Amino acid sequence: MNANGWIQLSLFVALLAAMTKPIGRYLVQVLDPDGRTWLDPLVRPLERLTYRAMGIRPDREQDWRQYARSVLILGLVGIAFTYAILRFQKHLPMNPAGLDSLPPHLAFNTAVSFVTNTDWQSYAGESTMSQFSQMVALTLHNFLSAATGMGVAAALVRGIARRGATTIGNFWVDLVRVTYYLMLPACTAFAVFLVSQGVVQNFSPNTTARLVEPTTITVEKTDASGAVVKGADGKALTEEKTIDTQTIAQGPMASQVAVKMLGTNGGGYTNANAAHPFENPTPLSNFIQMLSIFAIASGLTWYLGHATGNQAHGWAVWSAMALLFVAGTLVAWWAEAAGNPIHQALGVAAGDGNLEGKEVRFGIFSSALFATVTTDASCGAVNSMHDSFTAIGGLVPLFNMQLGEVVFGGVGAGLYGMLVFVVLAVFIAGLMVGRTPEYLGKKIGAFEVKMSMLALLATTVAILGFSAWAAASPWGIAGLNNAGPHGLSEILYAFSSAAANNGSAFAGLTASTPWYDTTLAIGMLAGRYLMIVPILALAGSLARKKAVPAGEGTFPVSGPTFVVLLIGTVVLVGALNFLPALALGPVVEHFVALQGTLR
Partner 1 sequence: MNTQAPSLLDRNIVGPAVAEAFRKLDPRSMVRNPVMFVTLVGAVLTTLGIFTATAADRGFVAQLAVWLWFTVLFANFAEAVAEGRGKAQARSLRGTRVGTLARRVAPDGSVDTLNAAELRKGDVVLVAAGETIPADGDVIAGAATVDEAAITGESAPVIRESGGDRSAVTGGTRVLSDEIRIRVTANPGEGFLDRMISLVEGASRQKTPNEIALTILLAALTLVFLLVCVTLHPLGSYSGVAFAIPVLVALLVCLIPTTIGGLLGAIGIAGMDRLLRRNVLATSGRAVEAAGDVDVLLLDKTGTITLGNRQATEFLPAPGIAIERLADAAQLASLADETPEGRSIAVLAKAKFQLRGRDVAHARARFVPFTAQTRMSGVDLEGADGNATRRIRKGAAAAMRGFVDREGGGFPDAVARDVDAVARAGGTPLVVADGRDVLGVVHLKDVVKGGIRERFAQLRKMGIRTVMITGDNKLTAAAIAAEAGVDDFLAEATPEDKLALIRREQEGGRMVAMIGDGTNDAPALAQADVGVAMNTGTQAAKEAGNMVDLDSNPTKLIEIIEIGKQLLMTRGSLTTFSIANDVAKYFAIIPAMLMATFPAIGALNVMRLASPHSAILSAVIFNALVIVALIPLALRGVAYRPLGALAILRRNLLVYGLGGILVPFAGIKLIDLLLVQIHLV
Among 100, 207, 553, 598, binds partner 1 (CB under 8 A): 553
| Binding window for partner 1 (CB under 8 A); candidates: 9-17, 30-38, 105-113, 427-435 | 427-435
Decide: 172 and 142 in contact? Cβ < 8 Å.
Answer: no
3-state secondary structure of 481: coil
Q: Positive or negative, the Cα torsion across 588, 589, 592, 594?
A: negative
CB 505 within 8 A of CB 121: yes
Three-state DSSP at 168 gives coil
Q: Nearer to partner 1 by C-beta: 493 or 578?
A: 578
Q: What is the H or E stretch that residue 219 is in?
A: strand 207-220
The amino acid that residue 493 corresponds to is: Y
Q: Considering only 49-57, 58-66, 102-110, 460-468, which stretch makes contact with partner 1 by CB under 8 A?
A: 460-468
Q: How far is the CB of 485 from partner 1 (least distance, A)?
A: 7
* 592 near partner 1 (CB under 8 A): yes
Q: 391-402 and 363-376 are packed helices; what angle lies between their axes, rounded to 10 degrees? A: 20
Q: Which range binds partner 1 by CB under 8 A, 18-26, 209-217, 262-270, 577-585?
A: 577-585
Q: Which residues, including other chains, have CB under 8 Å from residue 291's CB and lie 6 or more apart? A: 12, 15, 16, 19
Query: Considering the rule CB under 8 A, would residue 342 count as an interface residue with partner 1?
Result: no
The residue within the footprint of partner 1, chosen from 11, 46, 561, 598 (CB under 8 A), is 561
Shortest distance in whole angstroms from residue 570 CB to partner 1: 12
Q: Closest distance between partner 1 and the C-beta of residue 160, in Å?
A: 14
Residue at 259: amino acid letter = V
- Per CB under 8 A, 548 contacts partner 1: yes
**H-state helical runs in 88-215:** 104-115, 125-128, 131-132, 139-161, 171-177, 184-197
Binding piece for partner 1, criterion CB under 8 A, among 39-47, 122-130, 179-187, 572-580: 572-580
Work out whether 165 is an interface residue with partner 1 (CB under 8 A): no
Q: Binders of partner 1 among 265-284, rule CB under 8 A?
A: none
From 1-9, 188-196, 207-215, 553-561, span contacting partner 1 (CB under 8 A)? 553-561
- State the minimum distance, in angstroms, from the CB of residue 349 to partner 1: 23
> Using the rule CB under 8 A, which residue among 169, 393, 487, 523 binds partner 1?
487
**Nearer to partner 1 among residue 217 and residue 477 (C-beta):** 477
Smallest gap from residue 571 Cβ to partner 1 (A) = 9
Site membership for partner 1, residue 488 (CB under 8 A)? yes
- What backbone phi and psi angles, to 5 degrees, belong to 367? -75, -45
Q: Which region, judged by CB under 8 A, interacts with partner 1, from 83-91, 100-108, 334-342, 459-467?
A: 459-467
Among the listed ranges 82-90, 276-284, 401-409, 462-470, the one in contact with partner 1 (CB under 8 A) is: 462-470
Backbone region of residue 279 per phi and psi (left: phi > 0; alpha: psi in -120 to 50; beta: other values):
alpha
Task: Give least dist CB 455 to partner 1, A.
Answer: 10
Is residue 449 at the binding interface for partner 1, with CB under 8 A as the rule?
Answer: yes
Per the DSSP assignment, residues forming a β-bridge with 228 are 222
User: Residues for the chain: how many in total?
Assistant: 599
Q: What angle do CA 424, 426, 429 make, to 5 degrees?
A: 100
List binders of partner 1 among 386-425 (CB under 8 A): 424
**x-or-dash string of contact with partner 1, 132-161, rule CB under 8 A:** ------------------------------
**Contact present, 463 and 496 (Cβ < 8 Å):** yes
Q: Which of 249, 226, 222 is nearest to 236 (CA)?
A: 222
Q: Report the run of H or E that residue 537 belongs to, with start and end.
A: helix 514-544
How far is it, in rounded angstroms, from Cα 135 to Cα 397?
29
Q: Is 474 an interacting residue with respect to partner 1 (CB under 8 A)?
A: no
- Whether 284 contacts 364, CB under 8 Å: no
Measured from the CB atom, is 38 or 591 closer to partner 1? 591
How far CA 244 is from CA of 166, 209, 211, 276, in Å, comes to: 67, 9, 5, 20
580: left (phi over 0), alpha (psi -120 to 50) or beta: alpha
Q: How far, in Å, are 21, 201, 471, 575 from residue 279 at the CA level? A: 29, 10, 35, 33
* Residue 508 near partner 1 by CB under 8 A: no
HSE-up of residue 272 (Cα within 13 Å, Cβ side): 13
| Using rule CB under 8 A, residue 461 touches partner 1 | yes
**Of 367, 284, 196, whose CA–CA distance to 15 is shortest?**
284
Rg of the Cα trace of the chain?
24
Binding region for partner 1 (CB under 8 A) out of 223-231, 290-298, 445-453, 517-525: 445-453
CB of 428 to partner 1, least distance (A): 5
Q: Is 345 in the site for partner 1 (CB under 8 A)?
A: no
By CB under 8 A, tell whether 469 contacts partner 1: yes
Amino acid at site 31:
L
Residue 534 contacts partner 1 per CB under 8 A: no
* 482 lines the binding site for partner 1 (CB under 8 A): no
Residues 6+ apart with CB under 8 A from 595: none
Q: Which is nearer to partner 1, 207 or 510 (CB)?
A: 510
Instruction: Name the residue nearer to partner 1 (CB basis): 286 or 467.
Output: 467
In the set 221, 453, 475, 544, which binds partner 1 (CB under 8 A)?
453
Which residues make up the interface to partner 1 (CB under 8 A)?
Answer: 163, 424, 427-436, 441, 444-446, 448-450, 453-454, 456-457, 460-461, 464-465, 467-469, 471-472, 477, 484-485, 487-488, 546-549, 551-556, 559, 561, 564-565, 568, 572-573, 576-581, 583-584, 587-588, 591-592, 594-595
